[in-house]
Amino acid sequence: MGIISAILALSFLIFFHELGHFLVARMFGVRVEIFSLGFGAKIFSFSHNNTEYRLSLIPLGGYVKLKGEIQPQDSYQNLKKNVIDMHNENLIYAQSIGDSLNDKHPLQRIIILFAGPFFNFLIAFLLYLILIITQGVHVANKDSIIGSVNKDFAAYNLLQPYDKIISINDLEVKTFQNIGEILNQDSLQDKDIGNIRHKQEFAKIILLRPKQLESFKASCDKTLTYADDSHMYQCDTSNANAFEKMEIKIPISIYENKKVLGITALTKIHYPNIIESLILSYDYTKNAIMMIYDGLQKLIAGVIGFDNISGVIGIAEISAKAYQSSFTSFLLIIALISVNLGILNLLPLPLLDGGQIVFTTYEWITKKPIHQNVANLLVVLGFSFIVGLMLLGVYNDITRIAENYK
């Protein structure tokens, strides 16, 4: 069921992307020749307002074909015919009667091309908004109170939820953020990381542990304070007799080149009003865009290896696992994938929306379209590059699955 849900969700995201192109193209009077639900062989079709609506064999997303739009198969055929003749004045745009993509002002074309990725960002925004309204958001407590301890870290058997850390290595801890700041006062070098892993380093922690856990939980639920325009709640720790003061030596772990204990802050569910929800949804979408953009930068710079690229198998696997975990996790993953799809389509590769936007911007600035042979060559090269990336992603997925079964 998880795999089926993942495939349907991915198909919906692709379909929604194409729907963006379709609606905005129709708004600007561009003829949409084909709007297909699915890919491959045509199973069923009908025509309405000069558009052929198709149901195709492979139910993975869909596509639209706009009049005057560059198609990779057309570019390949044209390239074979004119590969030597770079002075040919037969340019990229076909003759039309005003309803072609290429008859429109460059700004209108750019808007049409951007509509697909924008719809992907929009659906992520809406998913975040739905989750915030229905599920609320977790807000951290103002104090240094532990919410959970990760079982994969060394501190798992020593720290407990609702422990309040008051000092680390004789340095006072006032907020949860102080914990990371104290542990990482000095930036770690590779040799330091190796020393910590081979010769275990400990942190001396003094904490307060509730004697009556249920009454302490109740004090956290009743007390809600607001600070720095953020919703933060504070638990009642004023009754010293309700706590046991303890000193513990905690093994320090290394995660992403930082010293950590493997703990998260105690949080409370807060239900924002509609204005707050809209702002938070925008922030979540923006953060997702920046995270994926940062990942692409690291990939190009070589900080992240190409073995981290996942294909459709990996994406479906992650989505299926999220579905099995919870429906909320599933929607969060789908929102992130939708943003990913939008960002990838804005890459300046000729076959993608981003590449077509570059072509159109070039025409807008120079007042003439890019030469047909140049466009054909770039489209074919871009198509080859995209197929290569897809194959690499599938190879990485299969390799990872095979290693997990060893």
* DSSP per-residue codes, 62-120: EEEEETT---HHHHHHHHHHHSS-TT----SPPP-SS-SGGGS-HHHHHHHHHHHHHHH
| pLDDT tier for residue 148 given thresholds of 50, 70 and 90 | confident
pLDDT in tens, 348-361: 888 788 988 998 99
CB atoms within 10 A of CB 402: 9
In the 8-state DSSP scheme, what is residue 152?
Answer: T
Distance CA 103, CA 4 (A): 42
Beta strands in 121-242 (DSSP E): 137-140, 146-149, 164-168, 171-172, 202-210, 225-227, 230-232
| Burial state string for 27-60 with b = 16 or more CB within 10 A and e = fewer than 16 | ebebbbebbbbbbeeeeeeeeeeebeebebeebb
159-169 pLDDT, tens digit each: 888 888 989 88
H-type alpha helices, 242-302: 274-301
Beta carbons of 399 and 308 less than 8 angstroms apart:
no
- Which contiguous run of DSSP H or E holds residue 267? strand 267-270
Residue 114 pLDDT class (50, 70, 90 cuts):
very high
| pLDDT for residue 189 is more than 70 | no
pLDDT at res. 83: 39
253: phi then psi, degrees, rounded to nearest 5: -105, 160
Q: How confident is the model at residue 222 (pLDDT cuts 50, 70, 90)?
A: low
> 9, exposed or middle or buried, with CB in 10 Å at 0-12, 13-18, 19+?
buried
Structural contact between residues 261 and 179, judged by C-beta atoms closer than 8 angstroms = yes
pTM tops 0.85, yes or no? no
Q: What is the pLDDT of residue 232?
A: 57
Q: How far is the C-alpha of 368 from the C-alpha of 362, rounded, in Å?
A: 8
Confidence class for position 130, pLDDT limits 50, 70, 90 = very high
161's CB contacts (< 8 A; 6+ apart) are 146, 147, 148, 149, 266
What separation in angstroms does the CA of 26 have from each of 116, 245, 395?
A: 13, 69, 39
For 281-337, write each residue's pLDDT tens digit.
999 999 999 988 888 888 887 777 777 777 777 777 777 777 777 888 889 999 999
Identify whether the C-beta of residue 396 lies closer than 8 Å to the C-beta of residue 299. Answer: no
For the record, the structure tokens of 319 come out as 């989505």
Choice among 43-47, 72-76, 104-108, 390-394 with the minimum mean pLDDT = 72-76
Of 13-22, 336-345, 368-377, the range with the lowest mean pLDDT is 368-377
Instruction: List the one residue out of 405, 386, 367, 381 whose CA is nearest residue 91.
Output: 367
Encode burial over 329-354: b for 16+ CB neighbours within 10 A, e otherwise.
ebbbbbbbbbbbbbbbbbbebbbbbb
| pLDDT the model gives residue 14 | 86
* 143 in Cβ contact with 234 (< 8 Å): yes
Residue 90: the pLDDT is 38
Q: Does position 25 have pLDDT exceeding 90, yes or no?
A: yes
**Cα distances (Å, whole numbers) of residue 261 to 61, 151, 161, 179, 271:** 43, 11, 13, 9, 30
Domain boundaries defined on the chain: 71-135+281-404, 139-270
Euclidean distance between CA atoms 101 and 91, whole angstroms = 15
- Which residues form the catalytic set? 18
CA distance linking residue 181 with residue 16, whole number of Å: 43
Homologous superfamily (CATH) of 139-270 is: PDZ domain (2.30.42.10)
Say which residue the tokens 């509609």 belong to: 274
